[in-house]
Amino acid sequence: MKIAAALLAATLSAQAASLDAAAQAVNQLGIDLHRKLPAAGNVCISPYSIQSALAMTYAGADGATRAEMEHVLHYKKNGAKIHDSFAALRSDLDDAVKKSAKRASDSKKWGGPSEPIVLNVANRLFGQSGYDFSKSFTTLVKAKYGAPMALMDFKTNSAGATREINEWISTETKKRIQNLIPQGALDRETRLVLTNALYFKAPWSSEFSESLTKAEVFHISDDRMVKVPTMIDQSNFRYMKAADFSAVAIPYSGGDLQFIVLVPDELDGIRKVESKLTAEALAACAKAEPRDIILHLPKFKIEPPAMPLGDHLQALGMKTAFDKPAGSADFSGIAPRKPDDYLFISQVFHKTFIALDEKGTEAAAATAVIVARAVSEPMEKPKPLEVRADRPFLFAIQHIPSGACLFLGRVTDPR
């Protein structure tokens, strides 16, 4: 029995270590990119979706391009193992969905809430028919990311290919993400589009009572207030107090996923929190201790337009992947590099959707990496603590076992 227990402990420890590499990369890149987004207004990204698409692209990178991607994507210490880590994280997310389904089934027998979590993660490659893609590359991304190759004709029908890829993304995200790739973004030199589509719909572990929702003041700025529908609940929520903010986590059905709200201490403290937020702080939210909290949380819906991430990734240091300077891109792991025919990333598009109400959360995201051909060029129970998200705040949807954030964003105006 002792040997079996030791083996089980070693297995669990190895799995945690495997999850950590992907989770830390997801959270750190999410924070890096969040800081590059507009400083005003509501924003939302899916670090997990972005990382999934770029991790597949990284699988075909070599030389300086690979080194730069390792640095920007935070793979440096785990480059050789990162694909295993993403595969393990995806498997763990699948397990969370199964756990939620079982809980919903059990609950239904007793007349309780019966809606399980829906989490659809889909990866796919859309490649030019007849192009010399590396068999080892396509095999790896299919095995580790579940991404099959669909053959396209970008050379003579790039507009049709754009429609087909956008339709696939729309289907995989329950029509929440439409027209991710704009017309004209793909052309006769496009050789590969690496895509991730993510759809999430989850009921709270315990719903907010609609009868308690009421209009409360939200401070858009120091001198501007509006009244917005605000949900109220008292429960044992995970709670963490940091230097400049309070974090409260609301569990989803099944217990493996949670919504985190990070409320600045000061009415105008959102910039300070954003500038100091770390991947470690996000991970700590997954391990925070429960505390009796009275939470005031506004309902909101965010649906930003598709955003190009190419400039942001280059600013973070991923330059040769975009063939800057000309001739420097090295994706010879995707297809053989020739003096007059080699691959580079022409653009990365990303789009999200999130809506939150008394019943739960619905969210979706999609990311497309477009690769083109270049031609020669406490002990006592304390009193309830009241937390009011009545000012601009940050939020995240987090996988608790790994600490990875599927979504990360800011709400400055819930209306």
Q: Which residues pair with 411 in a beta bridge?
A: 393
pLDDT at 318: 96
Beta-carbon neighbour count of residue 382 at 10 Å?
9
pLDDT at 254: 82
Q: Does residue 9 have a pLDDT over 80?
A: no
d(CA 225, CA 414): 12
What does the block give as tokens for 72?
Answer: 């920007």
Give the 3-state secondary structure of residue 314: helix
- pLDDT category of residue 162 using cuts at 50, 70 and 90: very high
- Matching residue, tokens 């002990």: 379
What is the identity of the amino acid at 57? T
Give the 3-state secondary structure of residue 101: helix
Q: Does residue 200 have a pLDDT over 90?
A: yes
Mean pLDDT of 291-314: 95
Cβ neighbors of 406 (< 8 A, separation 6 or more) are 46, 47, 48, 49, 198, 200, 257, 363, 365, 397, 398, 399
Q: Does residue 14 have a pLDDT over 90?
A: no
CA dihedral of 11, 17, 21, 27, whole degrees rounded to 10: 110
Q: CA torsion sign, 147 to 149 to 150 to 152?
A: positive
Among 92, 43, 49, 20, residue whose Cα is nearest residue 393: 43
pLDDT in tens, 261-297: 999 999 999 999 999 999 999 999 999 999 999 999 9
What does the block give as tokens for 330?
Answer: 């090295």
Are the C-beta atoms of residues 361 and 201 closer than 8 Å to each other? yes
pLDDT in tens, 76-104: 877 778 999 999 999 999 988 888 887 77
Are the C-beta atoms of residues 214 and 167 closer than 8 Å to each other? no
What does the block give as tokens for 265?
Answer: 């201490």
pLDDT at 377: 45
d(CA 113, CA 98): 16
Mean pLDDT of 341-363: 94
Question: In sequence order, which ranges of 125-180 are alpha helices (DSSP H)?
Answer: 135-145, 154-172
What average pLDDT is seen over the chain? 90
d(CA 363, CA 114): 20
pLDDT in tens, 132-153: 999 999 999 999 999 999 999 9
pLDDT at 270: 94
Mean pLDDT of 319-326: 94
pLDDT at 112: 57
Mean pLDDT of 123-131: 94
Are the C-beta atoms of residues 248 and 384 closer than 8 Å to each other? no
Mean pLDDT of 114-123: 88
Q: What are phi and psi of 363, to 5 degrees?
A: -150, 150
Q: Does residue 378 have a pLDDT over 80?
A: no
Q: Does residue 15 have a pLDDT over 70?
A: no
Task: Output 345 or 105, whichever has higher pLDDT.
Answer: 345
pLDDT in tens, 205-234: 889 999 999 999 999 988 889 999 999 999
pLDDT at 2: 47
- pLDDT category of residue 110 using cuts at 50, 70 and 90: low
pLDDT at 382: 65
To the nearest 5 percent, what fractions of the chain are helix, strand and coil?
A: 35, 35, 35
Q: CA torsion sign, 307 to 311 to 313 to 315?
A: negative
- pLDDT category of residue 8 using cuts at 50, 70 and 90: very low
- pLDDT category of residue 114 using cuts at 50, 70 and 90: low
pLDDT at 381: 58
Q: Does residue 10 have a pLDDT over 60?
A: no
